[in-house]
Amino acid sequence: MRIATSSIYNSGVFSMNNRQADLYKLQNQLSTGRRILTPADDPVAAARSLDLSQATQVNEQYIDNVKYANSTLALTEDNLQQVTAVIQDIQELAVQSGNPALTSSEKKMLESDIRGKYQQLIGLANTTDGNGLYLFSGYKGDTKPFNEQSYGNVRYDGDQGQRSVQVSPSRQIPVSDSGADVFVKIKTGNGTFTTGTGGNAAGGANQGTGIVSPGVVSDPVKWANANNNDTYRVQFHVVPDPTDPTKTVTRYDIIDNDTNSANYNRSLIDGYDYTNDVPAGGRTDGAGNPNAYPRSYTAGGDITFAQQPGETSALYPNWDFGGKISVDGVPKDGDSFKLEGSRDQDLFSTIGDFAAALTNYADNSTSGADFQNRLNATLSNLNNALSNVLTVQANVGSRMKEGDSVQTTTEDLNVQFKTTLSKLTDLDYVKAISDFSVTQTYLDAARQSFSKVQGLSLFQYIGG
């Protein structure tokens, strides 16, 4: 078979070029540590590695997001711990103010200390994070949430939302809280109803030394009775004891105090209508019954919102609302205490109301009783505020724990992605070095053989 000289040359050059290309590729693989330099090297692995690289980058962003979320939540938790400490300080001052040995001027000194705590609370409520966003303004991160109008009157300008950070494809973690949930939506009284002084029948403040308790609901199902409108007054009637002029007979009635009720101003105990029954506005005392009010009063005893044995003409037959209060001290004739459903009252109003009680205190028994009633209400409201803050703090802690869990899972997933990516793209150095040596040998052989083949031309012999 005849082979043209040009074919010999072309074949030799082609062979050396191929070996050089192989050597170049191996050299690039060894220098980069990557098996796949172009998608053409392994199309399936290249596509898979691209997906894994993108997933890894997304996961790394999720990890950064979790770190930001946990940092912000840690700041919130620290802030709430300070709020808790301030509320506890105010509680201690409030308890201290209940010392009957303190004079009005000494109570005003305590009020000055409480005012400082109040300003500290406003500062904490307006805390910002590292990006200058307010922690307690809801979605409105750039809006100052709490603005003081006057002492005890603070307006909330945030909203009810929570800013969230995406920490995984399917999960967002809230990193802010609504200031309304922390400082504003705080139930008064015992959480179901609140008690307070209802005033004297003459239209002024109570004149006696009666002190009402916050009360309790022992059976919430009974309290939910359709006949219960949550709004009553316990009114006292005091008359001289006909058997002992040095004593008095004190009795009371539980009266519907809801002006929108069809039974407004009627006794729950016996149905007496204080508006329309004769004589209008009161009951008739008699020689055999010097105090016509239906129940006897015992200082410190329970005033139960339920029908008692011997009460046969109740407004609601066999009524039982599952709640009770108690009154201690000595009420005057016409004094009353009101009971209303709990409402939301912000922490700042509670402090402002108590400050007013401290500054208005006078050194006499009537003022002392009024102050004690307001103090009891304040302590209940502060306790509710503290419970509210602790609940939010616990929620923040659970979000931090969830963030830690998500971060651990995401980091583990990233390790798996990188491991799989390494298997797809990383170079087997032992094999690559071996291939490089073999290819280099092939190239050397091709060069040497080509130099020998060049000498096969007949023209070399003719010239000789």
Please report the pLDDT score of residue 407 as a whole number: 80
Residues 274 and 403 placed together within one structural domain of the fold = no
CATH of the domain at 63: 1.20.1330.10
Residues 156 and 253 placed together within one structural domain of the fold = no
Residues 464 and 455: their CA atoms lie apart, in Å, by 13
pLDDT, averaged per 10 consecutive residues of the chain (464 residues), comes to 62 65 62 58 58 71 87 94 96 93 91 94 93 91 94 94 87 91 94 92 87 95 96 96 92 96 95 85 85 96 96 95 96 95 95 93 88 94 95 93 83 70 57 64 64 60 58
Residues 347 and 227 placed together within one structural domain of the fold = no
Please report the pLDDT score of residue 403 as a whole number: 87
Residues 146 and 24 placed together within one structural domain of the fold = no
Please report the pLDDT score of residue 123 as a whole number: 96
Please report the pLDDT score of residue 42 as a whole number: 55
Report the run of H or E that residue 414 belongs to, with start and end: helix 365-425
- The candidate with the shortest Cα–Cα distance to 178, out of 153, 158, 154, is 158
Residues 296 and 241: their CA atoms lie apart, in Å, by 13
Residues 335 and 265: their CA atoms lie apart, in Å, by 15
Please report the pLDDT score of residue 43 as a whole number: 64
Residues 288 and 409 placed together within one structural domain of the fold = no
Contact 428, 34 (CB under 8 A): no
Residues 55 and 95 placed together within one structural domain of the fold = yes
Question: What single DSSP character describes residue 108?
Answer: H
Residue 89, beta-bridge partner list: none
Please report the pLDDT score of residue 212 as a whole number: 96
Residues 147 and 238 placed together within one structural domain of the fold = no
Please report the pLDDT score of residue 16 as a whole number: 67
Residues 323 and 378 placed together within one structural domain of the fold = no
Identify the domain containing residue 434 by its residue range.
5-33+429-463
How many CB atoms neighbour CB 165 within 10 A?
21
Residues 338 and 198 placed together within one structural domain of the fold = yes
How many CB atoms neighbour CB 334 within 10 A?
19
Identify the domain boundary among 342, 371, 393.
Answer: 342
- Helix, strand, or coil (residue 184): helix
Residues 306 and 420 placed together within one structural domain of the fold = no
Please report the pLDDT score of residue 97 as a whole number: 93
Question: What single DSSP character describes residue 21?
Answer: H
**Residue in the structure block whose two tokens are 């950064």:** 64
Residues 363 and 437 placed together within one structural domain of the fold = no
Max Cα-Cα span within the chain: 164
Residues 320 and 268: their CA atoms lie apart, in Å, by 10
- Residue 34 makes CB contacts below 8 A (sequence gap 6+) with 425, 426, 427
Residues 397 and 300 placed together within one structural domain of the fold = no
Count of structural domains, the chain: 3
Please report the pLDDT score of residue 18 as a whole number: 66
- The candidate with the shortest Cα–Cα distance to 234, out of 156, 311, 328, is 328
Residues 157 and 217: their CA atoms lie apart, in Å, by 35
Report the C-alpha dihedral over residues 275, 276, 279, 281, rounded to 10 degrees. Answer: 0
Residues 216 and 195: their CA atoms lie apart, in Å, by 10
